[in-house]
Structure 1
Amino acid sequence: MGRRRGEALEAAILDAAWEELSERGYANLTVDSVARRAGTSKPVLYRRWADKQKLVEAAVVRCNDAQLAPPADTGSLRGDLIATLTELSETRGPFLTQLSLLLVDYFAEAESSFAELREMFVAGRRSGRDEIMRRAVERGEIDPAKLTPRIASLPFDLLRGETMMTLRPVAPEVIEEVVDTIFLPLVRP
């Protein structure tokens, strides 16, 4: 096997960092262990990432990006939200729960939070949530004057909170309740 370079090398390193993080947690992950697992050297890692925090952030963003699916487009705000929240609950919920446990020490060391990590996930691109809201405004299902950033994030925040509290996918009836009785009345024209 030839020497890896560029994107192939970076992918191998980030995959190794994610595997180390998953197995050991942030506190026990070392740049040495990532380099060994990736079959490369510490200087190669340090040329790309200044420190362990930056390496872990890049690995988490890569893992997140690999799991992203486009938001549902059912033709209605209610349908889009229910389908997207259901998909997020079933696929992203376990990922975020695992991530919160693995990164406890990261958040303390970096003096960071999930909100800041989410900003890394979104980093300059339109989120699925924003796309759902944009389409609903265009269809006249949302009064744009009522759609503050906090209200736009509300169904997703409630889903995240429910997932973190139960450590299970959110029941369909809970998702429908969040959409029908909490969110939609706040944004309808």
Structure 2
Amino acid sequence: MVSETQDKRSRRRGAELEQAILRAALDEVAEGGYARLTMDRVAQRAGTNKTAIYRRWPSRAALALAAHREFVAQPATPPDTGDLRSDVLELLRGAAARMSSPVGGEILRGVMSELHQQPELRRRLRDELTQEPGTMMTILARAVARGEVRPESLLPRIATVPVALLRNEYQMSFVGEIADEALIEMVDQVFLPLVRPR
């Protein structure tokens, strides 16, 4: 006999089912790490079947990244402190904290280990890590308006420099944490000299 809870789970559709699957994936990573994440385990925890998962996400890496986006990554509201240095540091510190969080970091490291096989996922992860270049372009545009930045610096390639440095630091950090001193160096020694009036 089917219990009321099982029957309710079987009737879930659309966004409700997707939320249950993503939450199950996040919980699986939190409990067992990315290496133990399987579609079977997620399906069992979510009370659904693997077909429902594969219709939405073609691989465990895609599923994990979607769970990261839903529950770990924060919407990129550009900081607006009135100072370019402070804005960029606030943005990088927030991103570094999400990258270094136990579950978020575990997901990102696991997904990165599979990127060579999945080009589309590589693009999505890049966007996840950097939210480039929109947020930084907004920060740069405000700095141009304040006279802190040369107008010719308002280019997408230049805007990606801080987040590209952060991404590289994260990938090369074997402990998964990024020291605040490293973020300050990225901003003070590389980015600000690149964009400020000469």
TM range (shorter): 0.7 to 0.9
**TM-score between the two structures when normalised by the length of structure 2:** 0.72
**CA shift for structure 1 position 40:** 1.2
In the alignment of these two chains, the number of paired residues is 184
Deviates more, 1:113-122 or 1:140-149: 113-122
Query: In 1, are the aligned partners of 2:21 and 2:42 still within 8 Å (CA)?
Result: yes
Task: In structure 1, list runs of 5 or more residues that go unmatched.
Answer: none
**CA shift for structure 1 position 113:** 7.0
- CA distance in structure 1 between the partners assigned to 2:113 and 2:193 by the alignment: 39
- CA distance in structure 1 between the partners assigned to 2:190 and 2:129 by the alignment: 26
1:114-168 alpha-carbon deviations (Å, 9 max, x no partner): 5541236778x97432321222223232223234433222222223333442632
Query: In 2, are the aligned partners of 1:85 and 1:175 still within 8 Å (CA)?
Result: yes
2:78 equivalent to 1:71: yes
Structure-2 residue corresponding to 1:157: 164
Query: In 2, are the aligned partners of 1:61 and 1:121 still within 8 Å (CA)?
Result: no
RMSD of aligned alpha carbons? 3.1
2:130 equivalent to 1:130: no
Structure-2 residue corresponding to 1:13: 21
Partner-residue secondary structure (3-state), 2:12: coil
Partner-residue secondary structure (3-state), 1:103: helix
- CA distance in structure 2 between the partners assigned to 1:70 and 1:77 by the alignment: 15
2:175 equivalent to 1:169: no
Letter in structure 1 aligned against 2:142? R
**CA shift for structure 1 position 111:** 4.9
Q: Which residues of 2 match residues 1-189 of structure 1 at below 5 A?
A: 1=5, 2=8, 3-22=11-30, 23-25=32-34, 28-65=36-73, 67-68=74-75, 70-89=77-96, 91-95=97-101, 97-111=105-119, 114-119=122-127, 127-163=134-170, 164-165=172-173, 167-171=176-180, 173-189=181-197
**CA shift for structure 1 position 101:** 2.7
1:13-33 alpha-carbon deviations (Å, 9 max, x no partner): 01212333452425x433221
**CA shift for structure 1 position 177:** 3.1
Task: In structure 2, list runs of 5 or more residues that go unmatched.
Answer: none
Letter in structure 1 aligned against 2:90? A
Query: In 2, are the aligned partners of 1:94 and 1:167 still within 8 Å (CA)?
Result: yes
- CA distance in structure 1 between the partners assigned to 2:113 and 2:184 by the alignment: 35
- CA distance in structure 2 between the partners assigned to 1:43 and 1:59 by the alignment: 18
Identity of aligned pairs, percent? 39
Deviates more, 1:8-17 or 1:162-171: 162-171
Query: CA 1:21/1:138 → structure 2, altered by over 3 Å: closer, same or farther?
Result: same
